[in-house]
Structure 1
Amino acid sequence: MHKIFIKLLATLLLSLAAATPACAVDEDGYDLWLRYRPLERAAQARLQPQARTLVLAGKPSPTTQAALKELQRGLQGMLGSAPAVSATIQDGSLVLATPAMLPELATASSPLRAELTALGSEGYLLRKTRLQGHHVTLIAANSDIGLLYGAFAWLRAAVIGAQPEAASAPKLQLRLLNHWDNLDRTVERGYAGASIWDWWALPDITDRRYVDYARANASLGINGTVLNNVNSKPEVLTAAFIAKAAAVADVLRPYGIKVYLSARFSTPLELKETDTADPLSPAVQAWWRNKADEIYRAIPDFGGFLVKANSEGQPGPQDYHRTHADGANMLAAAVVPHKGIVMWRAFVYAHGDDKGTDRAKQAYDEFTPLDGKFAANVMVQVKNGAIDFQPREPFHPLFGGMPKTPLLMEFQITKEYLGFSTDLAYLGTMFEETLHSDTKRAPQGLTVAQVIEGKALPEAARQAGLTGMAGVANIGSDRNWTGHHFDQANWYAFGRLAWDPQASARAIAVEWAAQTFSADARVTAPVVDIMMMSRETVVDYMTPLGLHHMMGTGHHHGPAPWVDNLERPDWNPVYYHRAARDGIGFDRTASGTNALAQYAPEIARQYADPRTTPTQLLLWFHHLPWDYAMPSGRTLWAELLHRYDTGVRGARELQSRWMALRPMIDERRHDEVAQRLRRQVANAELWRNACIAYFQSINGLPLPPGVTPPPKPLDYYKAIQVPYAPGRG
């Protein structure tokens, strides 16, 4: 009997082990999506025959050595042993080759020749094929950096259990992170610790973290990084800091990542090396040419400058009665001999200007008259929406308004207005929403993704190939890089969409979840479901129905719809929601500010009528009475309350779904996410209660049956302070 019991117990334990994904030892998140944990035996059996040896068909370079090292690292983690690097192709080899390394790939008889030709300088090809009479797995590309991208793609496929058969090339030339990192290592709107750039230690001491940063970015195809804050300091262009930037560039270069710097427009004046910063001054032009020469001597592949000018008090060409084009073209002339570029931000609103009726209109009004007047190596960098990285905005009208100018998309990866690194919000859905928006502009109704891919540009500009996407980084010195483990997914989603702006946010979420937690569908499916509902949940409890900019003053955390005492009207939340006895919302139709006129006529006609305006943008474009009849059958007031309650329920649902995954996630990461989700529920309840209390104080309406009143009076919520909030810079 005892033996039978032992046998039954053993059988039960084996069945439980088979039914439940094995939880690894506690992880701290440092490895991001490049974890390379051991595969199950069946997966190992499928993978091992593809990589018995590693073969680099040609002479190694720092980039191909990085590719080989990554493949060895990945296979060591997944299989328990790393294959040897061989000079000889044999059956079961994993071969890295370009046509220059392996001439048979370039012969007319090669079935891969046409595919490789179509992949350009950065694309890659993954194929099971025959080379020199042997059955091999081939990673092919036209360049060393293509081989590195292909190596990461092959490893990604191996981790998630996909077939290593793919051909892929980036649709955008520039795929950039913008670090809002200051020289004292604070990070403006950063919520994951201090800057990873240790300016004090550089250039003599370079942190190993820089290599891991480069690996993570290269795995996504990110090929550029702006090291410093757009609110730049003149010191960053001095010799001492150029040397520091050069040391970072040396580390990143093998991974295909160029460094860029944010330049303060008035730098020569503030360094007292000129007596003006006028872009038409010969002395100023000469100073910038000389400075560019100095930078390129230190960093031969320096990417160029990012500039924030005449916005929020930053100096710019308008200080001298010049245009944005005058300023950008002056800098462009300085870097063009070195094949550098200038990225000129379109986020502009004049500091101290209280005359405007709608801040959302200013960028369009200032930049569209300059369409076609920028130098060929200038890109205008446009935020996804016309206000400022809100939880939801309609796409920026500039994406349909500058057909002659290369436009660089600017997304915010860090969550300045979405709960910092506390609230879980997968931004892939937000990025996708913007990129897939139809501008309704000629020639064929281009989406925003197609606009930034250059489809609207004249032929000469298309041939120049200046296309790109930038993301304000959420990276910091926290051990897991991003504060919240799920915020790693926003970095990942940005990189994958920068490679292919028409990719699916859900498919990207599946990739990330499989690599970050487990490829087992019992883990991946519920994690992806959490991700896909998260951002809409945050919108519901923060800014439903198109409301926007209702966050706390300065730190941008928590609700403060009542603020009305700031220096200029458009810094106040009341400016945006315009709640009054007669209704709520911002009228941007012809009867209001007419911001709708900045969109294509078809969109303007549709959105001019609240009945045909998408519900999620209703109060962005319309000021409506509280009793306006919504499609749901509720009044606007009841619908608003319903959305707040839906957001709170959604936050609780995120929490409960995550708790159900406890047996399948390592204890440390599960607990760290669970703590944040508990706080997110509290944040959602605060937003709901504070906003309802405030709006009810304005409209004097009763709460509909079934709606729970806020537990505290309005004055309680107004009195909440958030001192020393992170991310202030």
Structure 2
Amino acid sequence: MANRTLRSLVFLLVMAWGLSARVFAEDGYDLWLRYKPLEDAARAELHKAAQQVAAPGERTPTLQAALDELVRGIDGLAGQAPTIAESAESGAILLVKPDTLPEHLKGKVSFDGLGGDGYRLLSVDGERTLIAANSDIGLLYGSFALLRHLQTGGRLEGLDVSEAPRLQRRMLNHWDNPDRTVERGYAGQSIWDWWKLPDHLDARYTDYARANASIGINGTVLNNVNAKAEMLTARWIAKAAALANVLRPYGIRVYLSARFSAPFELGATETADPLDPAVRNWWAKKADEIYAAIPDFGGFLVKANSEGQPGPQDYGRSHTDGANMLAAAVRPHGGIVLWRAFVYSETDASDRAKQAYAEFKPLDGRFADNVTVQVKNGPIDFQPREPIHPLFGAMPETSVTAEFQITKEYLGFVTHLAYLGPLYEEVLKTDTFRGGAGQTAAKLLMAEPLSGLAGVANIGSDRNWSGSHFDQANWYAFGRLAWDPEASAEDIAREWVAMTFSRDREVIAKVTGMMMASREAVVDYMTPMGLAHLMGTGHHYGPAPWVDDLARPEWNPAYYHRADAGGIGFDRTATGSDAIAQYAAPLAGLYGDRQTVPPEFLLWFHHVGWDETLPSGRTVWAELVHHYDRGVAAVGTMRRTWAGLEGRIDPARFRDVSDFLAIQEKEAIWWRDACLAYFASVSGRALPPGTRPPAHPLSWYQAQQFPYAPGHP
């Protein structure tokens, strides 16, 4: 009987331990806001210095969110929650604005340069820490900044930090559809449960708002740029308004993608012609209706006359006619229009890369002052690497917003580790030479009247938000670079690792090293040396450089690499499409000269013979093989580095990442083998001596089909 009782007790203890382990297992939901306990000395120090949090003045929802976050964060970091007080005593964190600053500190604390969103973190009196700002949202941003400082090893003693965002609008663009599918989304269904809105508000919406506010994002477009007209009906406006109410305390304004033909499709007008008075009146009244429900509505994002979407050109009108009509509708309410420059249609048979510049450059100065033209980072379509878009700096009389892609449509979806911070940084640091040397994309964006950065979101209903743990870093990096476009992608990666995985210095160094090498690895095994768009058509999954039989030339991967028996690459110099002429003269000269073009853009701008010798000493063919092999090897190195961290990363996330890295290595080999098999067949060249041949004949790779690849409409 005693033995049976003992066995039962042991069984219950084991079950309880297992349940506890499952309950507290890391699953990625907390993102970079984990607030795990600090080391003993730091934890004791924080507990002593942060026994109270206080915010004199009116307790607005935003100020309450800041206080709640400080309590949550300090509770996790110090092991004990501070109390919320009306006034600050010793051992306190005090949130103040100019009109609530304690009398004895007036004249000692400067709010200069903080603007509406900035903050200052300051140690005072040896016993208190100030979070100072001109607004409640600045106090919220400052609260998150203080917690980030503590999570990454910072101390309160001697603290004096001032920051303000360098771009006005820092926005996510959701490509989410009313049926909860997500175009180019790889993290499950849409986060927005439209069917249950507006009556049920998932707690996840608040956590979404917290995460975005923690990195300074202040706008979100709720729906796909391939918009449905129904999104502008009363039923759907009510759903958007419910979400706006959740996001508002966190400083996030809601925007909607608008279908240009909505008044016609909804049966209200006989046309969608932007110069038709009835159409203009419909949009004005629609704006009034939206702002009545969402007083701080941000405005409209529009994709027009691209990929079959309706637009003003359907009626013989210009982009300015369409954009300015919508701008007039939202102007009385302080709204803006973001008009996308992604125009992908049969307008330039010679080179798809030229289309946006050709259509928009002549319109400079004709857009209303509450319109910003939203330009992708490169002239094609979010490829693993592209040169900068020639429109940056080319429209000095028009506000331009940059558009990046956070979701990895062309970079292996969620199973490939590809930290995009270096991609964003590469673009932002590129000197456009518009108006002279030193005019980087970052500087140009910061000088715009309606300055902003937009990112196509990678967020979904998956428990870890982004489908993979490392893809969270791309969301994080986007927000941090939208706050400061001149920040370091490596510094951002390091801080993300410290908050997401471990504060151990060796772990941070190794994981940061993996991240910083990852995007280049993907470029190498997918599209090296300036190649682009070699992906499977439609779904963009896996290699398909051989596709050349689709209806329109620019739908075919073969259109982009131009490989033939003589060489490879797209001639965009004066002897080819002359796309080079769209850049400022110094940049055009750099790209157009075979001796100065950066090697990573060689085949983007030049058609080069297979046997030509490059500065590396290798022929073009041997260099191509070298890049594909280097990419595969880099993934193997990442796998080994990660494997060496076993026991230093929580088991659940360690296993998840290990599985995905194994998939990535398998698919990197697939990419390498398929592309080399194809290019060998086109060039007639044998693989260099000692090179491993593809595992299968070319026909095997060509026969692969993926009709149910995720994220494909």
Which bin holds the TM-score, normalised by the shorter protein? over 0.9
The CA deviation at 1:45 is: 2.5
Distance 2:615 2:396 in 1: 36
Comparing both chains, which one has the higher relative contact order based on Cα–Cα distances under 8 Å and sequence gaps of 6 or more?
1
How far apart, CA to CA, are the structure 2 residues paired with 1:452 and 1:428? 17
Partner residue in 2 for 1:204: 199
Q: Which residue of 2 aligns with 1:14?
A: none
Secondary structure of 1:382's counterpart equals strand
Give, in whole Å, the separation in 2 of the partners of 1:94 and 1:252. Answer: 25
Measure the CA separation in 2 of the matches of 1:726 and 1:205.
Answer: 27
Picking from 135, 138, 145, the partner of 1:143 is: 135
Query: Matches of 1:526 and 1:50 in 2, distance apart?
Result: 33
Partner of 2:146: 154
| Structure 1 counterpart of 2:653 | 669
Partner of residue 402, structure 1: 395
1:412 equivalent in alignment to 2:409: no
- The CA deviation at 1:354 is 7.4
- Summarize deviations over 1:316-375 as a string: whole Å, max 9, x none: 00111111011000000000000000000000022xx27611000010010011111110
Q: CA deviation at 1:609?
A: 1.4
Look up the match of 1:237.
Answer: 232
| Structure-2 residue corresponding to 1:69 | 68
Distance 1:168 1:686 in 2: 46
What is the CA–CA distance in structure 2 between the aligned matches of 1:88 and 1:270, rounded to whole Å? 57
Task: Tell me whether 1:531 sits opposite 2:515 in the alignment.
Answer: yes
Q: Distance in 2 between matches of 1:331 and 1:679?
A: 46
1:605, distance to aligned residue in structure 2 (A): 1.2
Distance in 2 (alpha carbons) for counterparts of 1:196 and 1:663: 33
Partner AA of 2:488 in structure 1: S
- Quote the Cα distance in structure 2 between the aligned partners of 1:595 and 1:272: 42
Q: Say which SS state the counterpart of residue 343 (structure 2) adopts.
A: coil
Aligned to 1:387: 380
Asked if structure 2 preserves the Cα contact closer than 8 Å seen for 1:438 and 1:445, the reply is yes
The offset of 1:608, in angstroms, is 1.3
The residue that corresponds to 2:261 in the other structure is: 266
Q: Quote the Cα distance in structure 2 between the aligned partners of 1:37 and 1:432.
A: 30
1:8-64 CA deviation, whole Å, 9 max, x = no partner?
xxxxxxxxxxxxxxx995300000000011111022133223212111121210001
5+ residue gaps, structure 1: 1-22
Matches within 5 A, 1:562-711: 562-711=546-695
User: Is 1:505 matched with 2:489?
Assistant: yes
Please state how far the C-alpha of 1:98 moved relative to its aligned partner: 0.5
TM-score normalised over the length of structure 2:
0.95
1:449 aligned counterpart, secondary structure: helix
Any conservation in 2 of the 1:24–1:666 contact (CA below 8 Å)?
no
What is the Cα deviation at residue 88 of structure 1? 2.5
Task: Classify the secondary structure of the residue corresponding to 1:379.
Answer: strand
Return the offset for 1:103.
6.0
Distance verdict in 2 for CA 1:491–1:281, change over 3 Å:
same
Q: Is the 8 A contact 2:431 2:437 kept in 1?
A: no
Deviation (angstroms), 1:700: 0.7
Cα separation, 1, equivalents of 2:512 and 2:651: 19
Residues 126-176 of structure 1, C-alpha deviation per residue, up to 9 Å, x if partnerless?
00013xxx7310000000000000000000001111244310000000000
The answer to whether residue 81 in structure 2 is matched with residue 97 in structure 1 is no
CA deviations 1:371-421 (Å, max 9, x no partner) are 111101000000000000000000100003111111111000000000000
Preserved contact between residue 354 and residue 568 of structure 1 (Cα < 8 Å): no
Which residue number corresponds to residue 440 of structure 1?
433
Q: Measure, in 2, the Cα distance between the counterparts of 1:135 and 1:531.
A: 39
* Rounded Cα–Cα distance in structure 2 between residues aligned with 1:49 and 1:121: 31
Matches for 1:190-589 after TM superposition, within 5 Å: 190-350=185-345, 353=346, 356-454=349-447, 462=449, 466-589=450-573
The amino acid across from 1:91 in the alignment is S
Name the SS for the 2:568 alignment partner. coil
**Change in CA separation of 1:710 and 1:269 when aligned onto 2, cut-off 3 Å:** same
Query: Letter of the aligned partner of 2:654 in structure 1?
Result: H
Q: 1:595 to 1:298 in 2, by over 3 A?
A: same
TM-score by structure 1 length?
Answer: 0.93
Gaps of at least 5 residues in structure 2 are 1-21
Q: Measure, in 1, the Cα distance between the counterparts of 2:320 and 2:416.
A: 40
Q: Alpha-carbon deviation of 1:721?
A: 1.2
- Distance change >3 Å, CA 105–CA 299, structure 1 → 2: farther
* CA distance, structure 1, for counterparts of residue 569 and residue 138 of structure 2: 49
Q: Distance in 2 between matches of 1:32 and 1:145?
A: 21
How many positions carry a matched residue from both structures?
690
Asked if the contact 1:25/1:666 (under 8 Å) is kept, the reply is no
Deviations 1:594-622 (A, max 9, x none): 00000010111121112210000100000
Q: Which amino acid is the alignment partner of residue 655 of structure 1?
A: R
Query: 1:86 matched to which residue of 2?
Result: 85
Alpha-carbon shift at residue 706 of structure 1 (Å): 1.4
Partner in structure 2 of residue 124 of structure 1: 119
Which sits farther off after the overlay, 94-103 or 140-149?
94-103
Q: Where does residue 184 of structure 1 map in the other structure?
A: 179
Distance in 2 (alpha carbons) for counterparts of 1:365 and 1:74? 51
- Match of 1:117, SS? coil
- 2: CA distance between counterparts of 1:652 and 1:135? 50
Paired position in structure 2 for 1:16: none
Between the aligned partners of 2:79 and 2:91, the Cα distance in structure 1 is 17
Distance in 2 of aligned mates of 1:688 and 1:236: 43
**Which whole-Å deviations, capped at 9, do the CAs of 1:625-653 have from their partners, x for residues lacking one?**
00111111000000000000000001111
Superposition deviation, residue 105 in structure 1: 8.6
The amino acid of 1:85's aligned partner reads I
After superposition, the C-alpha distances for 1:675-723 in whole angstroms (9 at most, x for unaligned) are: 0000000110000000000001101111111111112100000011112
Structure 2 distance, partners of 1:167, 1:683, is: 45
1:444–1:704 distance in 2 versus 1, CA, 3 Å: closer
Give the Cα separation in 2 of the matches to 1:505 and 1:619: 26
Alpha-carbon RMSD across the aligned residues, in angstroms, is 1.4
How far apart, CA to CA, are the structure 1 residues paired with 2:446 and 2:143?
25
- Cα distance between partner residues in 2 of 1:240 and 1:26: 40
Rounded to whole Å, the distance in 2 between the matches of 1:358 and 1:445 is 29
Q: Deviations over 1:516-573 (max 9, x none)?
A: 0111102111110010000000000000000000000110010000001112000100
Q: Equivalent residue for 1:726?
A: 710
CA distance in 2, matches of 1:651, 1:675: 13
Match of residue 9 from structure 2: none
Letter in 1 for 2:139: L
Letter in 2 for 1:417: Y
Partner secondary structure for residue 647 of structure 2: helix
Q: Provide, for residues 257-284 of structure 1, a one-character-per-residue CA deviation record: whole Å limited to 9, x for no partner.
A: 0000000000000001000101111100
Do the aligned residues in 1 keep the contact of 2:348 with 2:354 (CA within 8 Å)? Answer: no
- One-letter amino acid of the counterpart of residue 117, structure 2: E
1:391–1:418 Cα contact (<8 Å) kept: yes
Tell me what 1:13 maps to. none
For 2:93, what is the secondary structure of its paired residue? strand
2:18 alignment counterpart: none
